[in-house]
Chain A
Amino acid sequence: MSSRRARSRQSTSSSRITDEQINDLVSKLQAVLPEARLHGCLSMQVSAAKVLQETCNYIRSLHREVDDLSERLSELLATTEASSAQAAIIRSLLK
């Protein structure tokens, strides 16, 4: 915790965050996004703004999926027995 505080203190006071650092972080972020989201990005440089925008869209869609899957799991728990639900979960893990 203290190292994290020290890091942010250092970054605000010295403003020594280089563009290179930021580009590095942005490209790491880009690597995590599914490729379909950055259509036509076989080129190296996608603008940081585009990456951030796609990141926001992707996070929103992931939140929606969690919401949707939670509802479906809720339905499943209501209709199936606990034992068969657990068996299904274990099956899915072993795949």
Chain B
Amino acid sequence: MDSENSACGNPNPNPTLGPSKLMLAFRFLRALSLVHRTTPASSRTCRGRRIERAAYASMAYSAGTGRGWSRAVLRRLHHRARRRAVAPRRLSTTAGNRAEALRQLVPGGAGMDYCTLLEETADYIKCLSMQVELMQGIVDSSSSYGP
């Protein structure tokens, strides 16, 4: 994260809580509250899945629609809400299908050209690791102060 800040000339010198991370935290916290309010206490697995979807949703919303992977995540989430079928994966028709395994891991990767895929992957990893850090921080705080 530090190298990213210095390389891009990020005006915010704080490596731990930049504005993007704060927005991410705010969105996730809001989604988490909603899940807590609306999911019955008995359905633990259901709540776990909803929290996971909230994590990806807040991640994608924070990244904005300027990224292929975030658009793909939001599409997938909205389609899931409307019809419970798994959408057929669009086969890659653009420049070759190098890095097949990576295409399956990065949302929207199947339809991207190789260069875009590499760019999107780097951004996806940054956001994903930020989300993991956030969730880990919440778990750690709750564990140390909880009952």
Contact = CB atoms under 8 A, between A and B. Distances in A.
Interface size class of A (residues with CB under 8 A): 35 or more
B142 A80 contact: yes
B102 interface: yes
Interface string A67-80: 10111111111111
A88 B122 CA distance: 31
A17 interface: yes
A89 B136 CA distance: 10
Contact of A91 (B33, B105, B145, B147): B145
Contacts of B22: 93
B44 A88 contact: no
A91 B35 CA distance: 20
B55 A70 contact: yes
State the majority secondary structure of interface residues on B: helix
Closest 8 CB pairs of A and B: A92-B141, A70-B52, A74-B48, A92-B137, A25-B118, A69-B135, A88-B141, A88-B142
Interface of B: 3-4, 7, 16-17, 22, 25, 29, 32-33, 35-37, 41, 44-45, 47-49, 51-52, 55-56, 68, 94-95, 99, 101-102, 105-106, 112-116, 118-119, 121-122, 124-126, 128-129, 131-132, 135-143, 145-147
Interface in A21-57: 21-22, 25-26, 28-29, 31-33, 52, 55-56
B102 to A, nearest CB: 6
B125 A88 contact: no
B8 to A, nearest CB: 11
Given A8-B113, A22-B114, A72-B139, A55 B33 contact: no
Nearest to B103: A56
**For B44, B47, B136, B138, which residue has the most chain A Cβ atoms within 10 angstroms?**
B138
A85 B17 CA distance: 20
A70 B125 contact: no
Given A12-B95, A32-B126, A66 B131 contact: yes
Contact of B125 (A55, A79, A86): A55
B132 A65 contact: yes
A11 B56 CA distance: 30
Given A76-B146, A80-B146, A92 B140 contact: yes
